[in-house]
Amino acid sequence: MSKPERGLGWGGLPPPGHHGALGRDPVKLQAFMRDAVEVRLAPGMAEALRHAAAGLGLALPGMGESAGTGSATGAVTTLGLAPGEWLALARPEEPGAFARRIASGLEAAASVVETGHGLACFSVSGRAAREVLAKGCRLDLHPAVFTSSTAARTVIAQIPVTLWRKDEAGAADSPVFALAVPLTFAQSFAHFLLGASAGTGAEILPASKD
């Protein structure tokens, strides 16, 4: 039996290349994959979770930091989704390995549920990224408001979206926005991205695990 290889789980963006109008600074569009777990604090276990997360090197936004922010610690990005609720994302590993590592590290302090295969992730980057996303995103993505440590859940093109910035601080001029949508909406969301970026032009990159 061959070794199982993880696929995108949807049809993917069009083949790499240019899309839409020419002559402007095009955005870069890319689909990517993540392992992900939803972490939910067990009642009365905040102190234990803080301790356990520190042990894992996991920064949980809102546990002493302001809520709704994303934080990339090493290979793991954690996004605060709601009080006591986080999404932790990492590059794809062996099936189940990431979830097991987080779950064993956090033990009874939180429940850890694997959700990564249910997320289709996209990155939209470049000078015109804000302009493209503004065609569906109601949130203010100005760098002074949506900083590189901001995360949000919103609705774009009638599709639920988890949105964060994938770039490092200080990249205000050419931000990298990451958007995760439910996998089964991925094709419709790709249609939105292609439509929204047609006016500025887009460079489509090959799907990535990075």
Shortest distance (Å) from residue 60 CB to another protein:
15
Choice between 57 and 82, CB closer to another protein: 82
Choice between 47 and 57, CB closer to another protein: 47
User: Which residues lie near another protein (CB under 8 A)?
Assistant: 1, 3-11, 20-21, 33, 38, 40, 42-43, 95-96, 111, 113-119, 134-140, 142, 145, 157-159, 182-189, 191-192, 195-196, 198-199, 201
Shortest distance (Å) from residue 188 CB to another protein:
4
Choice between 50 and 135, CB closer to another protein: 135
Choice between 163 and 186, CB closer to another protein: 186
For 60-70, b/e burial (b = at least 16 CB within 10 A) is bbbbeeeebbb
CA distance 29 to 4: 27
CA distance 45 to 37: 18
Shortest distance (Å) from residue 184 CB to another protein:
4
How are strands ordered across the β-sheet holding 110-114?
A: 70-73, 76-82, 85-90, 35-41, 110-114
Four-residue CA torsion sign, 62, 66, 67, 68? negative
